[in-house]
Amino acid sequence: MNVPSLERSVALQRRVLAATSVSYIVVLLDTSIVNVALHRISVSLETQIAGLQWVMNAYTLAFASMLLTGGTLGDRWGARNIYLGGLVVFTLASTICGIAGNLPSLIAARVLQGMGAAMLVPCSLKLINHAFPDAEQRARAVGIWVGCGGVAMAAGPLVGGVLIRLLDWRSIFFVNVPIGLVGLWMTWRIARDPRPAKVSRFDPVGQLTAMIALGALIGVLIEGQMLGWGSFWIVAGIVVTILASATFLTTEARNPHPMLPLSFFRNSVFAGSTCVSMASAFVFYGLLFVTSLYYQQARGYSPLEAGLALLPMTAMVAVGSIVSSRMVKLWGQRWSMCAAFGFYAIGALGMLTSSRSSPYWLAIAPLLAIGLASGFVSPAATAPAMGTVEKNRAGVAAAVLNSARQTGAALGVAIFGTLIATLHPFEVGMHSALWVAVGVSIAAALIWRLASMQSTHSRDDLS
* Res 247: pLDDT: 94
Question: Is residue 369 very low, low, confident or very high in pLDDT (cuts 50, 70, 90)?
Answer: very high
Q: Which amino acid is at 357?
A: S
Arithmetic mean of pLDDT, 11-22: 80
Contact of 109 with 223, CB cutoff 8 Å: no
Arithmetic mean of pLDDT, 343-353: 94
Q: How far apart are CA 34 and CA 55, in angstroms?
A: 9
One-letter-per-residue 3-state SS of 25-45: HHHHHHHHHHHHHHHHHHHHH
* Res 302: pLDDT: 87
Per-residue CA distances from 298 to 240, 295, 356, 426 (Å): 36, 6, 7, 7
* Res 438: pLDDT: 96
Q: Answer whether residue 463 shows pLDDT above 50.
A: no
pLDDT in tens, 32-52: 788 888 889 998 998 888 889
Q: Answer whether residue 460 shows pLDDT above 50.
A: no
Question: Is residue 191 very low, low, confident or very high in pLDDT (cuts 50, 70, 90)?
Answer: low
DSSP 50-78: HHHHHHHHHHHHHHHHHHHHHHHHHHHH-
When the pLDDT of each residue in the chain is averaged and rounded to a whole number, the result is 84
pLDDT in tens, 234-243: 999 999 999 9
Arithmetic mean of pLDDT, 87-92: 94
Q: Answer whether residue 457 shows pLDDT above 80.
A: no
Q: Answer whether residue 88 shows pLDDT above 90.
A: yes
DSSP 403-420: HHHHHHHHHHHHHHHHHH
Q: Answer whether residue 461 shows pLDDT above 70.
A: no
Task: Please indicate whether residue 436 or residue 155 has the higher confidence score (pLDDT).
Answer: 436
Question: Is residue 455 very low, low, confident or very high in pLDDT (cuts 50, 70, 90)?
Answer: low
